[in-house]
Amino acid sequence: MASDRLTFIDLFAGAGGLSEGLRESGFHCLFSNELVPDYADTYRLNHPGTMALTEDIREIDPRSVRKRLRLDKEELDLVAGGPPCQGFSINAPVRSLLDERNHLFKEFLRFVKAFSPKAVLIENVPGLVSFGNGLALRSVIDALGEFGYGADVRILGAAHYGVPQTRWRTFVMGLKGRDVPAAVFPEPLFNAPIRANFTATFNGRPLLKTPAPETKSGFVTVSDAIGDLPVLRNGERGEPVKPYMKKPSCGFQERSRAGSGGVLNHEATRLSEINVQRMRHIRPGGNWTDMPDSLLPKGMLRARKSDHTKRYGRVDPNGLASTILTKCDPHWGAYFHYSQDRAFTVREAARIQSFPDRFVFAGIQARQFAQVGNAVPPLLASAVGASLKSVLLNGA
């Protein structure tokens, strides 16, 4: 290959976390598709050079897209994306092979067939591995095989790659006309304290990519991630762009600030008075068990102290955040700031997801939280992209 600039398209792109990480690792996105307008608006703001369509993927002809991009078959380096995963999630109330969202994998595969790229990357939740006793994952791998791709799968912990939260993601990688070498999945950079609470084997083979014994034990903490952001009171909005209040104190903060002129999307939601009262009883690293019974939600009065350990949690500044969800609702996780009496802002959630500060989120605040929570952490995507790029360029 004459150039080390690799090209890709991003399907089910969301706000662009996967694209951002792949861009940071040296890929260039030519085309993206996202159905939800707010998500697509955010994608366009942050990837102005990409042809971005806001349409139902079932209505798009991939061959027409390829012609608009002036690409021949087998010319594109990568088809990437995260087909909707709600039907596969271990947290979904009902997991069914009949869930129509699961069949959107077929739409992804239509693009693979039309472009015949050198590589394929599918990102999803860990629950994909156990769904249908492995039938869903086997179907994806078999379909790639029918198109001439060797395929393999691993589950990666985001905290092992510098993301300060307990998030796991499944990556299916395919290479045209060849088996997938182990080197296509990045080696962990940190020995972070995370444990899997899901099925992590497929066909009797372990899928977790775990750190080698010599991997350094230091990991990025919550305070590393957000400790330099402006102080806010509960419900305080302030100016749309806020100045940094102190110099960066670590490499994560320096990376986050690169190319940014200030802090955007940093406005505190207004917690109810009862939640403010609850929060004042919770120590850093603590949760609902720190509250007096008189302040407990009725549904939790009979809960065991060992249950729901993240609910109404105040994060430990020296630890990892719980997985960022589509809303930082304290009833569902540890989303109280460790030293300020309020919940996380969109920017803090984005930092914990490893988005750089120059990445702007569009739409109303609730939609911004959803965009952040549904995204692939860019640092994790960048690690995957760097390993894949090395394999594509060097044939490792």
| Segment 360-382, tens digit of pLDDT | 999 999 999 999 999 999 999 99
In the DSSP assignment, the letter for residue 59 is G
At 92 the pLDDT is 43
What is the model's pLDDT at position 396? 62
Rounded Cα gap, residues 361 and 368, in angstroms: 6
Q: Is 29 a catalytic residue?
A: no
Neighbours of 137 (CB within 10 A): 24
Question: Helices in the chain by DSSP H: which ranges?
Answer: 17-24, 37-46, 62-68, 105-115, 127-130, 135-146, 222-226, 251-257, 273-279, 346-352, 365-373, 378-394
pLDDT > 50? residue 352: yes
pLDDT on residue 94: 45
- Token pair for residue 395? 């044939």
Collapsed DSSP state (helix, strand, coil) of residue 139 = helix
Closest CA relative to residue 9, chosen from 110, 101, 111: 111
Q: Percent of the chain scored above 90 by pLDDT?
A: 76
| Rounded Cα gap, residues 63 and 73, in angstroms | 9
Contact assessment for residue 275 and residue 288, using Cβ atoms and an 8 Å cutoff: no
- Catalytic residue, candidates 29, 85, 250, 328: 85
Higher pLDDT, 372 or 332: 372
Q: Using the 8-state DSSP alphabet, how is residue 284 labeled?
A: T
348-369 burial by CB neighbour count: b if 16+ within 10 A, else e? bbbbbbbbbbebbbbbeeebbb
Q: What would the pLDDT profile of 205-240 be if each residue is shown by its tens digit?
A: 999 988 988 887 789 999 999 999 999 999 999 999
Q: Which domains does the chain have, with CATH numbers?
A: 6-215+377-394 (3.40.50.150)
pLDDT bucket at 102, cuts 50 / 70 / 90: low
Q: For residue 161, give the DSSP letter.
A: G
What radius of gyration, in Å, describes the C-alpha atoms of the chain?
21
